[in-house]
Amino acid sequence: MKYLVTGGAGFIGSNLSRYLIKKGARVCVLDDLSTGLFENIRDLEHHKDFEFILDSILNFEILEKAVKKCNAIFHLAAAVGVEYIINNPLRSIEVNVQGTENVLKLANKYKKPVLLASTSEIYGKNEKDQLHEEDNRILGSTTISRWSYSNTKALDEFLALAYYREKKLPVVIVRLFNTTGPGQVGDYGMVVPRFIKQALLNKPITIYGNGKQTRCFTHVKDVVRALFDLLSDEKSAGKIFNVGNPEEVTIKELAEKVKKATGSTSEIIFIPYEKVMGPNFEDMKRRVPDIKKIGKQIGWKPTLNLDHIIKDIIEHQEKGE
């Protein structure tokens, strides 16, 4: 079995590639390294079952060659991270929409099953206790840049479902909630590794906003297991699944957990959103996944809690890996 992993040099993609190879599969990674890092896949570089293509999903000819050679596709390539989206709005829209259209068009041409990585950003400002896959999307104005990401990923989902309904292309859609773990960097707004890095250096732990906003964090090991099992399950095609850990924490509580776990002397400080994200930034107060659907479908549930996640990232950063 050979898998194409678009965006495979990213944090999730590289962990998925490693997982697939351990399963005995062959892996082809296609990544332009715009947000991914070659360092993430350096250990796989010379593996007999691994191939790396340095290029973009916007390059239709190169993408077609990669699709033809594989049996199935994990489509993870996308503009990611709130800060990256805000700073690169045109590129983000182009990659997320045109790139996904390219992947789906070629997957349909060669009849290759696809898993599309979507996002919890789909739900926008919906703040209900647990977000279900059928819940309404509540978005802000088009003048607020962050909502463009939600809309591009929603269009990706519409495209994927259209290919499933009209062309019978096997496509499964996964809405990822905050995924983290060892090796993730905080460069594009990823909060857990950023807090831990600040704490280990005894520098101020910087919270954007008032810290009362809540999030849920899932260990990447749990996430890649869900991705593999969903694409392997033929009955998951044409469906959307939340993948996340319902363990809810405020960002202020997260900072306090990190400070305690590292034994840091860091001060916890609060920075107004506009100083970091610029004017017209909007955040959501909470985002908690309902994971009953995926549990019923394939029996998946997260196994590693937030304390375990923090411990793993601390150990990784202390080793300087």
What residues act catalytically? 149
Number of Cβ within 10 Å of residue 108's Cβ equals 18
Contact 297, 236 (CB under 8 A): yes
Residues in the chain: 321
Tell me the pairing of strands 205-208 and 179-180. unpaired
Closest Cα to residue 174, out of 218, 216, 124, 230? 230
Buried b (16+ CB within 10 A) or exposed e, 254-270: bbbbbbeebebebebee
> DSSP H helical segments within 60-168, as ranges?
60-69, 82-87, 89-93, 100-110, 146-167
Maximum pairwise Cα distance, the chain: 58
Number of Cβ within 10 Å of residue 48's Cβ equals 7
Q: How many helices (H) and strands (E) does the chain have?
A: 12, 13
SS3 52: strand
Give the CA radius of gyration of the chain.
19
